[in-house]
């Protein structure tokens, strides 16, 4: 599994492969039962852990983009989980 963190402006983006999408979704929904999503134009707003993230999957290049410092911490935790497995 290839999962990475990129700086995007002032916050972070969790980048991963299309074939890892289900594993990412499953892990987040198990760890954060409050996870919700809603369409927002060409992106999807995903909410978990009390934070909003922008999910994009353009050109088979999925990512979750944080909009806050707490969101950055949550993405780092997700990244660490998959990096360790």
The domains located in the chain, with CATH, are: 3-84 (3.30.310)
pLDDT at position 85:
75
Nearest to 19 by CA among 47, 66, 65, 61: 61
Residue 59 has what pLDDT? Answer: 81
- How many Cα atoms within 13 Å fall on the side-chain side of residue 39? 2
Q: pTM, whole model, 2 decimals?
A: 0.92
Other Cβ atoms closer than 10 A to 29? 14
Place of tokens 């922008």: 54
Report residue 43's pLDDT band, with 50, 70 and 90 as the boundaries: very high
Beta bridge pairs of residue 14: 5, 64
Using DSSP bridges, classify how beta strands 36-40 and 51-58 pair: parallel, antiparallel or unpaired: unpaired
């Amino acid at each position: 599994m290839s999962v990475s963190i990129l700086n995007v402006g002032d916050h972070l983006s969790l980048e991963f492969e299309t074939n890892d999408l289900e594993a990412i979704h499953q892990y987040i929904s198990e760890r954060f039962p409050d996870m919700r999503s809603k369409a927002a134009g060409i992106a999807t707003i995903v909410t978990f852990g009390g934070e909003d993230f922008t999910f994009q999957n353009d050109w088979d290049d999925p990512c979750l983009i944080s909009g806050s410092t707490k969101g950055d911490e949550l993405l780092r935790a997700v990244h660490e989980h998959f990096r360790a497995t």
